[in-house]
């Protein structure tokens, strides 16, 4: 029951924007399993993380106890250029579906990079600059992370090398151009510029690349170049924490109208937007104050949570990162090249994985890409926003949930994350428009290949 009529868009003022990130781990009674050093099988230390990540990010990565962490003023000011982002009541979509459900979405596409990734790119570039580092390397798949980091690196004035998954670089030349325009140097991965890239090309010359492989190259360059560090746009605990700004804003906006979601839906690639969106609501659940139903949506072609194994695995194909316990398809899993809809990563945030394993994250749902694009078009027609294919996974499930309410007559309140825009995904939309898009669902035998190469960790994972 709401006392005031909810407007189409709920904006917070700049003053109402959160000044602290929320660290979900602090409220988890059982913490995610520690990151391990693959050489020793022992939990990784701050000193071991320092050569890879900048100091502040390494400290945040290992901090399982501080619930709220101040957002430095410089980052608050950067956020002010495009935040707070709106929560939108999808009145038009509700009407078109004829559902009694209330549908809200938190829209993260209101910045030039077009997605939520800028929320973590800004602190990562800022902390690196503060530390006096000379440059950053990263990988990018669909290109949103590379673009976001290019923007942040330009603003905080630090050089950046981006390893871009080859198939994406070919499909999205304009993405590459945007990054270069912001001053980043962009290399197609796998490349001849690294040992791991040369090895992967030798073993598999026709490869279209993968995120895992691009990560290996970026890590190799960062580890081998003085004053350079590697930055990652998802999966890691500190990235999930930076993304809590999404959920904190959403909750503050909905609280103004006395709204509390019954169902919260996010797409899950590496788990960062989902972790960020659900963070304050998950806090309520962990503290026994409320019990919203959380749904992680992933592509059926890359079903890390719904069909993966909860195991220690590398974050990259080259097997050089620390080991993380997560739901994974295996670091060697490469999704089918017909997969157009993003969310191609083999693993999943250790926080999200732990919450799913322990039943706090209620459900992981796989969806087929043709159905995802069908849903995107319903959304385009009624809400007037061209969504990123990743975001459309959440749209698909939000529509399905709203249609269920139509059958049962339940007036549920649904909140989903609209993580970004799809202007650079027109190749995928064109495929769908012309009816050429197909679905691919890996068989158990396909997945077994990835599982069979999971690393052995003495005493932990034989
Ligand atoms: C990267 C990306 C995702 C998936 O990444 P997560 O870490 O799972 O959030 C989802 N939507 C958009 C628009 C993205 O750019």
Within 10 angstroms of residue 81's Cβ, the number of other Cβ atoms is 12
Nearest atom, ligand 1, residue 420 CA: 13
pLDDT at 352: 98
Torsion of CA 414, 415, 420, 425, to 10 degrees: -20
| Tokens of residue 61, six digits | 């990565």
Q: What angle do CA 122, 269, 217 make, to 5 degrees?
A: 70
328: phi then psi, degrees, rounded to nearest 5: -145, 150
Average pLDDT over residues 342-370: 95
Label residue 368 by pLDDT band (50, 70, 90).
very high
Asked if pLDDT for residue 374 goes beyond 90, the answer is yes
| Tokens of residue 66, six digits | 């501080």
Rounded to an integer, what distance in angstroms lies between the CA atom of residue 312 and that of residue 38?
A: 10
Q: Describe the crossing of helices 369-383 and 389-408 by its angle, rounded to 10 degrees.
A: 80
| Tokens of residue 200, six digits | 């992967």
285: phi then psi, degrees, rounded to nearest 5: -70, -45
- Expressed in angstroms and rounded, the spacing between residue 391 Cα and the centre of ligand 1 is 7
- Expressed in angstroms and rounded, the spacing between residue 451 Cα and the centre of ligand 1 is 24
Of the candidate CATH numbers 3.40.640.10, 3.40.50.1100, 3.30.1330.10, 1.10.10.10, the domain formed by 3-19+71-114+238-451 belongs to 3.40.50.1100
pLDDT at 171: 83
**Residue 94, CA atoms < 13 Å, CB-side half-sphere:** 17
Q: Whose CA is nearest to atom 5 of ligand 1?
A: 269
Q: Which of 148, 273, 341 to mutate to test the pocket of ligand 1 (most atoms within 8 A of CB)?
A: 273
pLDDT at 1: 46
pLDDT at 37: 95
pLDDT at 332: 87
pLDDT at 3: 53
Evaluate the omega torsion of the peptide bond into residue 84 and state whether it is cis, within 30 degrees of 0: yes
| Tokens of residue 148, six digits | 């976001």
Q: What is the pLDDT of residues 38-58, one digit of tens each?
A: 999 999 999 999 988 999 999
- Expressed in angstroms and rounded, the spacing between residue 303 Cα and the centre of ligand 1 is 15
Nearest atom, ligand 1, residue 271 CA: 8
Nearest atom, ligand 1, residue 388 CA: 13
Q: Which of 342, 348, 395, 396 to mutate to test the pocket of ligand 1 (most atoms within 8 A of CB)?
A: 342
- Expressed in angstroms and rounded, the spacing between residue 202 Cα and the centre of ligand 1 is 30
- Expressed in angstroms and rounded, the spacing between residue 364 Cα and the centre of ligand 1 is 16
Nearest atom, ligand 1, residue 117 CA: 15
Closest-CA residue to 190 (of 181, 177, 199):
199
Rounded to an integer, what distance in angstroms lies between the CA atom of residue 71 and that of residue 238?
A: 13
Q: Whose CA is nearest to atom 15 of ligand 1?
A: 144
The residues pairing with 68 across neighbouring beta strands, listed in sequence order, are 22
Pocket of ligand 1 from Cβ distances under 6 Å: 115, 117, 144-145, 234, 267-274, 343, 388, 390-391, 419-420
pLDDT at 241: 98
Evaluate the omega torsion of the peptide bond into residue 146 and state whether it is cis, within 30 degrees of 0: no
Q: Whose CA is nearest to atom 9 of ligand 1?
A: 273
In the chain, how long is the greatest CA-to-CA distance? Answer: 65
Q: What is the pLDDT of residues 380-396, one digit of tens each?
A: 999 999 999 999 999 99
pLDDT at 141: 83
Contact 151, 114 (CB under 8 A): no
SS (H, E, C) the chain: CCCCCCCCEECCCHHHCCCEEECHHHHCCCCCCCCECCCCCCECCHHHHCCCCCHHHHHHHHCCCCCEEECCHHHHHHHHCCCCCCEEECHHHHHHHCCCCEEEEEECCCCCCCECCHHHHHHHHHHHHHCCCCEEEEEECCCHHHHHHHHHHHHHCCCEEEEEEHHHHHHCHHHHHHHHHCCCEEEEECCCCCHHHHHHHHHCCCCCCCHHHHHHHHHHHHHHCCCEEECCCCCCHHHHHHCHHHHHHHHHHHHHCCCCCCEEEEECCCCHHHHHHHHHHHHHHHCCCCCCEEEEEEECCCCHHHHCEEEEEECCCCCCCCEEEEEECCCCCCCCCCCCCCCCCCCCCHHHHHHHHCCCCCEEEEECHHHHHHHHHHHHHHHCCCECHHHHHHHHHHHHHHHHHHHHCCCCEEEEEECEECCCCHHHHHHHHCCCCCCCCCCHHHHHHHHHCCCCECCCEC
Q: What is the pLDDT of residues 257-271, one digit of tens each?
A: 999 999 999 999 999
* Domain-wise residue ranges, the chain: 3-19+71-114+238-451
Nearest atom, ligand 1, residue 108 CA: 13
Rounded to an integer, what distance in angstroms lies between the CA atom of residue 148 and that of residue 137?
A: 13
Q: What is the pLDDT of residues 216-264, one digit of tens each?
A: 999 999 989 999 999 999 999 999 999 999 999 999 999 999 999 999 9
Q: What is the pLDDT of residues 390-430, one digit of tens each?
A: 999 999 999 999 999 999 999 999 999 999 999 989 989 99
Q: Whose CA is nearest to atom 2 of ligand 1?
A: 390
Closest-CA residue to 264 (of 68, 387, 87):
87
- Expressed in angstroms and rounded, the spacing between residue 193 Cα and the centre of ligand 1 is 27
Nearest atom, ligand 1, residue 391 CA: 11
Contact 343, 306 (CB under 8 A): no
Q: What is the pLDDT of residues 313-350, one digit of tens each?
A: 998 877 888 999 999 999 988 777 777 767 888 999 99
Least confident of 101-110, 201-210, 349-358: 201-210
Label residue 34 by pLDDT band (50, 70, 90).
very high
247: phi then psi, degrees, rounded to nearest 5: -70, -40
Label residue 356 by pLDDT band (50, 70, 90).
very high
290 vs 212, higher pLDDT: 290
- Core vs surface per residue 236-255: b (16+ CB within 10 A) or e: bbbbbbbbbbbbbbbbbbbe
pLDDT at 52: 86
Q: Which residues contact 424 (CB under 8 A, 6 or more apart)?
A: 114, 142, 143, 172, 174, 175
Q: Which residues contact 177 (CB under 8 A, 6 or more apart)?
A: none
């Amino acid at each position: 029951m709401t006392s005031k009529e909810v407007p189409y868009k709920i904006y917070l003022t700049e003053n109402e924007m959160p000044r602290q990130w929320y660290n979900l781990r602090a409220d988890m009674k059982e913490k995610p399993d520690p990151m391990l050093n693959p050489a020793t099988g022992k939990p990784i230390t701050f000193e071991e993380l320092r050569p890879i990540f900048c100091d502040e990010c390494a400290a945040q990565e290992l901090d399982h106890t501080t619930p709220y962490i101040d957002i430095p003023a410089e980052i608050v000011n950067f956020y002010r250029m495009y935040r707070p982002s709106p929560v939108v009541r999808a009145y038009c979509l509700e009407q078109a579906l004829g559902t009694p459900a209330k549908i809200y979405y938190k829209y993260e596409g209101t910045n030039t990079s077009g997605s939520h990734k800028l929320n973590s790119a800004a602190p990562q570039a800022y902390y690196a600059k503060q530390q006096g580092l000379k440059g950053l390397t990263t990988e990018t798949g669909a290109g949103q992370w590379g673009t976001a980091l290019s923007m942040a690196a330009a603003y905080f004035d630090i050089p950046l090398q981006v390893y871009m998954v080859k198939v994406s670089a070919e499909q999205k030349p304009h993405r590459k151009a945007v990054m270069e325009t912001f001053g980043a140097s962009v290399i197609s991965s796998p490349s001849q510029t690294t040992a791991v890239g040369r090895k992967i090309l030798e073993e598999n010359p026709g490869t279209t690349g993968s995120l895992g492989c691009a990560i290996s190259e970026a890590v190799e360059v960062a580890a081998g170049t003085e004053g350079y560090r590697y930055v990652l746009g998802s999966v890691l605990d500190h990235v999930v924490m930076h993304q809590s700004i999404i959920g904190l804003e959403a909750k503050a906006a909905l609280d103004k109208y006395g709204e509390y979601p019954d169902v919260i839906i996010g797409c899950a690639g590496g788990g960062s937007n989902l972790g960020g969106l659900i963070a304050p609501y998950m806090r309520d659940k962990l503290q026994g104050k409320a019990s919203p139903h959380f749904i992680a949506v992933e592509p059926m072609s890359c079903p890390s949570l719904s069909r993966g194994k909860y195991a220690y695995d590398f974050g990259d194909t080259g097997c050089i990162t620390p080991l993380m316990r997560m739901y994974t398809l295996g670091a060697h899993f490469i999704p089918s090249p017909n997969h157009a809809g993003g969310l191609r990563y083999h693993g999943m945030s250790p926080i999200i994985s732990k919450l799913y394993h322990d039943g706090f994250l209620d459900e992981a749902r796989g969806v087929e890409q043709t159905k995802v694009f069908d849903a995107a078009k319903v959304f385009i027609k009624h809400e007037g926003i061209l969504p990123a294919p990743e975001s459309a996974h959440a749209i698909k499930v939000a529509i399905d949930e709203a249609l269920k309410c139509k059958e049962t007559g339940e007036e549920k309140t649904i909140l989903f994350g609209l993580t970004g825009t799809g202007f650079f995904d027109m190749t995928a939309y064109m495929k769908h428009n012309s009816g050429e898009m197909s679905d691919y669902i890996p068989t158990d035998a396909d997945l077994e290949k990835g599982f069979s190469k999971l690393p052995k960790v003495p005493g932990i994972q034989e």
